Amino acid sequence: MLPLCSRVLLSHPFSPMSLMALREQLNMLVNSMYIEGLLDQQFQQLQMLQDASSPGFVAEVINLFCEDAERILTELTKDQAVVDFQKVDAYVHQLKGSSSSVGAQNVKLACIQFRQFCEENNKDGCLNALNVVKHHYYLLRNKFDTMLQLEQRIQAYDSKQQN
Amino acid sequence: MERPLFSVRAEAFPAGLRVLVVDDDPTWLKILEKMLRKCSYEVTTCSLATDALSMLREQKDKFDIVISDVNMPDMDGFKLLEHVGLEMDLPVIMMSIDGETSRVMKGVQHGACDYLLKPVRMKELKNIWQHVYRKKMHELKEIQTHYNNEDINILRYGSEDLDDRNLTDGITNISSARKRKDVDYKEFGDQEFGDPSRLKKARVVWSVDLHQKFVNAVNQIGLDKVGPKKILDLMNVPGLTRENVASHLQKYRLYLSRLQKQSEDSTSGGNMPSDLINNDNVANFELTSSTNMQQCSEHTKHVGTSENLVPGIIADAHIGDIKKIVPVQGIESEKGLISDSPISQNFNNVPRLSALFSFKGMTPGIEEKAREPTTSKHQTLHDGAPRMQCMHYPGQGNCGMLDDYSYLSSSDQDHQVSFNLCSSSPVISATVTNEKDMKDLSEMKPVPTDQRNAHFAAIPQVACMTGSVSLQIKHGMVHSQDAGAICKLDGSPNTKGCSTEQIDNQECFPLTCEFSPKSEAELDSLPGDLHLCSIQKFGCFEDVGFGGAENFQDIISTPDTQVQNDWYISSELNNDYLYETVDYPLIDECLFA
């Protein structure tokens, strides 16, 4: 005979357990991102800015960032034969700026290194740095994707509970 | 004398402050907009500097303050800054991810009233109203000075040029102003602008024609002998009151004196970019410098606003030479002030001039309402205490703020978005960066997971704390350095430790090279006679984009240290203060060991 609480849990259509599990998962994901240096404090700022009036704020910001970042990375990936260091530097500066907006720490750090190579007019260094930036960016983006999916599922639960 | 009108406004300010944000980065634009809205400001965003400028030009009174990024594709942020300062005379705050001292310096030189480092925090935006308030205070002071000057004129030239009414008014105003000199700008504002019922009337718009009539009248009478009544009579504009003319006259005088001061400063050797002189501004300065000449012969000393230093423009004009009063146009043709572009003999460019006069927001209401700034504790979101403190605004803001940070209230927990729940996400613990708070962090016990504090669940919080600390060590050796630099004011050996950490850090990113070239470049870029060597090293910290750098920013922007405010406010860049707060030589060692 199962204890009462378990029976209740199992029978409940929107089992709080799975909602809790989702939240747990999300929190662990975000935590790991902080620990691994993918995210920094700025991301917390974003979380704090989100409120009832703008429940999708963080998701929107993340999406804006990803769009912008990918635009820049595309530009940077073009014309690798001849490197216009000033132009490249300008792009990287932009990317540095927008990565700082979401707290994309590793990406930002990689941008800083990248700019160093630009300043030195070091083509190989730049090409290498570009790969590093991309590596960190796509890593981050994957995690962001998971994060937003979990978020959505949790919100679905919440809205069902409201109704 | 408190009048109901003003006390209402006093409570509202700074809420409703009209901010224009210019940034080409869409992510930042969104974030800033959100942050400013949370501060109860009215926000307009713009991603192009050119758009922003045309917006400002079209509706001169629409904004109180402008915040702009430095790096923008269509126009350099510094250029925008100059334009706004010249044409609209609004306070401008610059922002950048780049915190190099030379850049900050440039911002200050171009007239920025503040320079914020990205990532910008809410607490920094909360206080931007101070720049609006400060500007108004300066301008009021200048008006007072001019009232005093007018008093001198009255005594010098006797009362024959002013009718009895003027004289009485003038002296009444002056004496009452003098009595309140050091204290009560609000009441002075009362005196000057009349009773509140008048304030509610529509303001006179000083159009091109109207202003031209005004200037003609002034020139005809002679700036030293001029009085509002005389001007009014000469202008012969129906519906225009003596008060309108009086206030416009003040502004005109202020404007002239400010230019006078700027030209004096510029002739003493500013080295500003010559591209400042463009066609838009040429006629401006032709007009104004010529009227300067009229004025300077009579007034020996002017109070200029340091915030609006527009340097190096009127260098060619031999201002001091001209003793007699000559008509404006005469001077233009004689001296050919800004030679290259065709000098317009007509006043087609007066719109610029009147734009300069549109003392935006200089309604008496603002002086009054600015009297009561947010005095309550400016606790930020980043305190180490588990219980977050809400920012307090006078009057209406309070409830709104509480609602905004609704994650604090656990009552609607289930309805909240999971991000806000943050039952274990490191919302608070990892944001701790202050010296004080870091101590708290180490002492903080895991908070029991009760409903009330559901946001700070025990285990994950500890994990986060550990995580953030390890973050600091792993990536942010600068962070602990920063902490060392700031916290150890007595210059303890903590800074020594960082060089070893620097080496350790190489496993993550070989960023040691980040320091030296950058700082050398900074060394080179700074003008030699500035004794700011230590600051540039400080600036070096900021440029390094560790997580620590943000912490650093927190540190310098907290009320505890007050360093940032004192650095970046253009009016007083006081080296002495800077040397007092932090022990620079030790940082020196650390960076360039």
**What is the predicted pLDDT for the residue at B386?**
39
Flag if A101 and B119 touch (Cβ within 8 Å).
yes
Q: pLDDT band for position B564 (50/70/90)?
A: very low
Residue to test with chain A: of B410, B414, B418, most A Cβ within 10 A: B418
Determine the structural domain holding residue A112 and report its residue range.
18-48+70-156
CA torsion angle A19 A24 A27 A29 (round to 10): -110
Range with the largest mean pLDDT of B12-21, B254-263, B429-438: B12-21
Residue to test with chain B: of A45, A67, A93, A153, most B Cβ within 10 A: A45
Question: Is the pLDDT assigned to residue B489 strictly greater than 50?
Answer: no
* Residue in chain A nearest B456 by alpha carbon: A27
Flag if A40 and B550 touch (Cβ within 8 Å).
yes
- Using one digit for the tens of pLDDT, what is the confidence trace for B313-337? 333 334 334 344 344 343 333 343 3
Residue to test with chain A: of B118, B419, B462, most A Cβ within 10 A: B419
- Of A118-127, B121-130, B363-372, least confident by mean pLDDT is B363-372
- Of A133-147, B141-155, B476-490, least confident by mean pLDDT is B476-490
Question: Is the pLDDT assigned to residue B458 strictly greater than 60?
Answer: no
**What is the predicted pLDDT for the residue at B204?**
67
**What is the predicted pLDDT for the residue at B440?**
41
**What is the predicted pLDDT for the residue at A13?**
52
The mean pLDDT of chain A is: 87
CB pairs under 8 A between A and B: 174
- How many beta carbons lie within 10 A of that of residue A71, not counting itself? 14
Q: pLDDT band for position B29 (50/70/90)?
A: very high
Question: Is the pLDDT assigned to residue B341 strictly greater than 90?
Answer: no
- Which of chain A's residues have a Cβ under 8 Å away from the Cβ of B545? 96, 100, 105, 108-109, 111-112
Size of chain B in residues: 593
* Residue in chain A nearest B461 by alpha carbon: A31
Flag if B418 and A151 touch (Cβ within 8 Å).
yes
Total domains present in chain A: 1
Question: Any idea what the CATH number is for the domain that residue A36 is in?
Answer: 1.20.120.160
Q: pLDDT band for position B40 (50/70/90)?
A: very high
| Average pLDDT rounded to a whole number, residues B129-151 | 86
| Average pLDDT rounded to a whole number, residues B509-519 | 38
Q: pLDDT band for position B394 (50/70/90)?
A: very low
Flag if B35 and A105 touch (Cβ within 8 Å).
no
Residue to test with chain B: of A89, A100, A147, most B Cβ within 10 A: A100
Percent of chain B with pLDDT over 90: 15
| Average pLDDT rounded to a whole number, residues A86-115 | 94
Distance between CA atoms of B233 and B434, rounded to whole angstroms?
Answer: 63
Give per-residue burial for B391-401: e unless 16+ CB within 10 Å, then b.
Answer: bebbeebeeeb
* A97 closest CB neighbour out of B35, B97, B407: B97
Whether A41 is covered by a domain: the verdict is yes
Range with the largest mean pLDDT of A3-17, A97-111, B225-239: A97-111
Whether A3 is covered by a domain: the verdict is no
Distance from CA of B405 to the nearest CA of A (A): 7
- In this structure, the strands spanning B65-69 and B114-117 are unpaired
Residue B490: exposure state from Cβ atoms within 10 A (0-12, 13-18, ≥19):
exposed
Distance between CA atoms of B183 and B181, rounded to whole angstroms?
Answer: 6
Considering only CA atoms, which of B18, B45, B52, B44 is closest in space to residue B29? B45
**What is the predicted pLDDT for the residue at B280?**
42
Whether A137 is covered by a domain: the verdict is yes
Regarding pTM above 0.80, the answer is: no
Whether A10 is covered by a domain: the verdict is no
Flag if A97 and B28 touch (Cβ within 8 Å).
yes
- Which of chain B's residues have a Cβ under 8 Å away from the Cβ of A28? 424, 460
- Using one digit for the tens of pLDDT, what is the confidence trace for B69-94? 999 988 999 999 988 988 888 999 99
Under a CB-based contact definition with an 8 Å cutoff, are residues B85 and B305 in contact? Answer: no
In chain B, the N- to C-terminal Cα span, in Å, equals 62
**What is the predicted pLDDT for the residue at B266?**
60
Task: Give the DSSP letter of residue A51.
Answer: B
Q: Kindly calculate the radius of gyration of chain B based on its CA atoms and give it in whole angstroms.
A: 27
Flag if A61 and B118 touch (Cβ within 8 Å).
no
**Phi/psi at B366 (5° precision):** -70, -40
Greater model confidence, B88 or B392: B88
Whether A53 is covered by a domain: the verdict is no
Range with the largest mean pLDDT of B176-190, B230-244, B269-283, B416-430: B230-244
- How many beta carbons lie within 10 A of that of residue A90, not counting itself? 17
Distance from CA of A1 to the nearest CA of B (A): 30
| Average pLDDT rounded to a whole number, residues B245-252 | 84
**What is the predicted pLDDT for the residue at B140?**
87
The mean pLDDT of chain B is: 57
Question: Is the pLDDT assigned to residue B556 strictly greater than 80?
Answer: no
Whether A11 is covered by a domain: the verdict is no
Whether A117 is covered by a domain: the verdict is yes
Q: Residue written as tokens 């634009």?
A: B29
* A41 closest CB neighbour out of B430, B474, B508: B430
**What is the predicted pLDDT for the residue at B223?**
79
Q: Kindly calculate the radius of gyration of chain A based on its CA atoms and give it in whole angstroms.
A: 20
- Of A143-152, B263-272, B371-380, least confident by mean pLDDT is B371-380
**What is the predicted pLDDT for the residue at B67?**
95
Whether A79 is covered by a domain: the verdict is yes
**What is the predicted pLDDT for the residue at A75?**
92
- Using one digit for the tens of pLDDT, what is the confidence trace for B262-274? 777 665 544 444 4
* Residue in chain A nearest B424 by alpha carbon: A27
Range with the largest mean pLDDT of A73-77, B262-266, B434-438, B581-585: A73-77
* Residue in chain A nearest B426 by alpha carbon: A31
* A94 closest CB neighbour out of B25, B420, B431: B25
Flag if B511 and A112 touch (Cβ within 8 Å).
yes
